[in-house]
Amino acid sequence: MPPTPRIRTVEGSCWGCKQRRVICDLAVPTCGKCAKIGRRCDYGTVRLRWTDCVASRGRLAGKKIPLYQPPALQRSQDQHLLYFENELLPRLNLSNTVPRIDLSFLSRDPILSQSVIAVANAHQTYAYQSSDENSAVARIQDRNNALRVFRKHLMAAHNDEVNHSLFIANVLLCILDGMLGPTTENSAAAAHHHLVGGKAILKHWEGGQDIFDQTEELPILMLSIFTTMDLTHSLLIGDEPYLDQPSWARFGNCEAWWGNVKSDDDFLQTMGILANLATLGHGVRHFSNTVPIDTLLAIQTSLDEQANQLTVDDETHGSVERSAWAAFCSVYRFTASVYLYRALSGLDVDHHLVQQAVSSCMEVISSPALPSQLQHCILFPLLVVGTLCMEENQRVTIRRSIERTSAYLSFESLRSLTLFLEGRWKMLDQENEAYRKSDWWSYFEDIALATCLF
């Protein structure tokens, strides 16, 4: 007599795995087996059964609903909105919390829903390493649908609500092309145009001032992400950033990607200084301006005073959280110093001031004072400082930091960041004098347009 077949299901399995009697990994919102074959994953306690398009159980009992729904709409309502809220958004803010958003509102807004579908599908495909042809086709279709809907509404008449949706969708498209997907010549150009378009939307929309005045968290989160990507992008290509130095204080007491801080917080002050540096860099790059030495010294003094104040505060009101935040701010502050030395002062890669800033920054990155959660949000400093690392132990630290961050963020663009760093280190090891004396803009030319990092 043959043995009784062993049932391989586990308690709490999704309905698909229960029906097939296979082991479910219980991942939410979609388990691994359902994600692999593109099947809808359902963990509901009651499974609806449909008869002639009518639900026989549950809250939809008696309602006649078509059996077929367009794939994009079904993915939006059944999977991607939840994935966007619970899987992607926590990776886009430092506190790892989910902003309060109205999923029902997103599902009714065609501009936002299509963009959410596109970014959620792209991230899920890469995070779960779904490389089959169907996944690739769906990802491309979702992106094209999002662009089509975005452009259609962009060319039509807008009210404030549509402007909100257009701006958020534009940020999502920038994330899609600048972070989630592989870095190619086409994606780099697209990400750059999304940033330019975002600036245009904000200027046409009187600067988006009403975003700061509302209580919804998603718009302010998207605005903080956009202005940070715009700032880092501007620093690399020599463009003027959208926000000037004083405007960064407006993010005080807002739910931004770096958390809710006061308007005079050290991080906002550092971002303001970086905005000032980017504006000066625009003049240097495009108009061959020479920044007066007094201006450079004043900026360096501001950075030094900020560092000293952080040290005093840490000694006076020391705590693990305070030390971690001070370390996080200092990484961006050292990056500002590197930009001041390289882009505005024209110092060589191996100049002692440049290497001193690099060494100081690397000490912070490798120290336990900077926890992993904060390290996930220093990609731009890792790029700037990492390309200047002359010592192998520094490079090992950079590699490890990017590996940990890649495993958490699941952004495909980090592969391009790693390849760029390895290429720059190879050139440094060749001790090519012309290369070491190359200016800031030439040094980052190969990755500048494609970089949307923070």
110-127 vs 160-175: helix axis angle to the nearest 10? 20
Using one digit for the tens of pLDDT, what is the confidence trace for 351-404? 999 999 999 999 999 999 998 889 999 999 999 999 999 999 999 999 999 999
**Is the per-residue pLDDT at 314 higher than 90?**
no
Instruction: Give the per-residue pLDDT at 74.
Output: 46
User: Looking at the domain assignment, is residue 355 inside a domain?
Assistant: yes
**DSSP 8-state code for residue 128:** T
Helix (H, G, I), strand (E, B) or coil at 64: strand
Identify whether residues 151 and 269 lie together within a single domain: no
**pLDDT: which is higher, 55 or 10:** 10
Using one digit for the tens of pLDDT, what is the confidence trace for 318-327? 588 889 999 9
Least confident of 126-130, 266-270, 275-279: 126-130
- The arithmetic mean of pLDDT across residues 239-266, rounded, is 93
Instruction: Give the per-residue pLDDT at 370.
Output: 92
User: Looking at the domain assignment, is residue 238 inside a domain?
Assistant: no
- Do 371 and 324 touch, CB atoms closer than 8 A? yes
**Is the per-residue pLDDT at 66 higher than 70?**
no
Range of the domain at 23: 1-48
Instruction: Give the per-residue pLDDT at 342.
Output: 97
User: Looking at the domain assignment, is residue 137 inside a domain?
Assistant: yes
Residue 124 backbone dihedrals phi, psi, to 5 degrees? -65, -40
Identify whether residues 351 and 265 lie together within a single domain: yes
- The arithmetic mean of pLDDT across residues 153-169, rounded, is 84
**Is the per-residue pLDDT at 99 higher than 60?**
yes
User: Looking at the domain assignment, is residue 98 inside a domain?
Assistant: yes
Most confident of the following: 11-15, 187-191, 380-384: 380-384
Identify whether residues 207 and 95 lie together within a single domain: yes
Q: How does 203-239 read in b/e, with b if 16+ C-beta sit within 10 Å?
A: eebeebeebeeeeebbbbbbbbbbbbbbbbbbbbbbb
User: Looking at the domain assignment, is residue 262 inside a domain?
Assistant: yes
Identify whether residues 142 and 10 lie together within a single domain: no
**pLDDT: which is higher, 370 or 96:** 370
Residue 131 pLDDT grade (very low, low, confident, very high; cuts 50, 70, 90): low
Q: How does 81-113 read in b/e, with b if 16+ C-beta sit within 10 Å?
A: bebbbebbbebbbbeeeebebeeeebbebbbbb
Residue 155 pLDDT grade (very low, low, confident, very high; cuts 50, 70, 90): confident
Most confident of the following: 110-119, 164-173, 329-338: 329-338
User: Which helix (DSSP H) or strand (DSSP E) does residue 87 occupy?
Assistant: none
**Strands, E assignment, 155-263:** none
Distance CA 225, CA 229 (A): 6
Identify whether residues 450 and 388 lie together within a single domain: yes
Instruction: Give the per-residue pLDDT at 63.
Output: 47
Residue 348 pLDDT grade (very low, low, confident, very high; cuts 50, 70, 90): very high
- The arithmetic mean of pLDDT across residues 232-250, rounded, is 95
- The arithmetic mean of pLDDT across residues 89-99, rounded, is 79
> Among 182, 214, 246, which residue terminates a domain?
214
**pLDDT: which is higher, 229 or 55:** 229
Identify whether residues 321 and 188 lie together within a single domain: no
Q: Which of 274, 267, 273, 163 is nearest to 222 (CA)?
A: 163
Identify whether residues 44 and 78 lie together within a single domain: no
**Is the per-residue pLDDT at 22 higher than 50?**
yes
Farthest-apart Cα atoms in the chain, separation: 93
**Is the per-residue pLDDT at 53 higher than 80?**
no
Identify whether residues 322 and 423 lie together within a single domain: yes
Q: Which of 380, 452, 367, 449 is nearest to 421 (CA)?
A: 380
**Is the per-residue pLDDT at 245 higher than 90?**
yes
Distance CA 145, CA 97 (A): 29
CATH of the domain at 28: 4.10.240.10
Residue 132 pLDDT grade (very low, low, confident, very high; cuts 50, 70, 90): low
User: Looking at the domain assignment, is residue 371 inside a domain?
Assistant: yes
Distance CA 280, CA 161 (A): 35
User: Looking at the domain assignment, is residue 223 inside a domain?
Assistant: no
Most confident of the following: 3-12, 62-71, 303-312, 330-339: 330-339
% the chain with pLDDT above 90: 47
> Among 192, 214, 236, which residue terminates a domain?
214
Residue 412 pLDDT grade (very low, low, confident, very high; cuts 50, 70, 90): confident
Identify whether residues 182 and 261 lie together within a single domain: no
Instruction: Give the per-residue pLDDT at 325.
Output: 93
Identify whether residues 286 and 412 lie together within a single domain: yes
Distance CA 223, CA 228 (A): 8
54 beta partners:
51, 64
Residue 71 pLDDT grade (very low, low, confident, very high; cuts 50, 70, 90): very low
Name the domain count of the chain: 3
Residue 6 pLDDT grade (very low, low, confident, very high; cuts 50, 70, 90): very low
**Is the per-residue pLDDT at 61 higher than 50?**
no
Identify whether residues 331 and 272 lie together within a single domain: yes
Distance CA 451, CA 454 (A): 9
User: Looking at the domain assignment, is residue 236 inside a domain?
Assistant: no
Identify whether residues 192 and 266 lie together within a single domain: no
Q: Report the amino acid identity of residue 185.
A: E
- The arithmetic mean of pLDDT across residues 226-238, rounded, is 95
**DSSP 8-state code for residue 6:** P
Residue 65 pLDDT grade (very low, low, confident, very high; cuts 50, 70, 90): very low
Instruction: Give the per-residue pLDDT at 51.
Output: 40
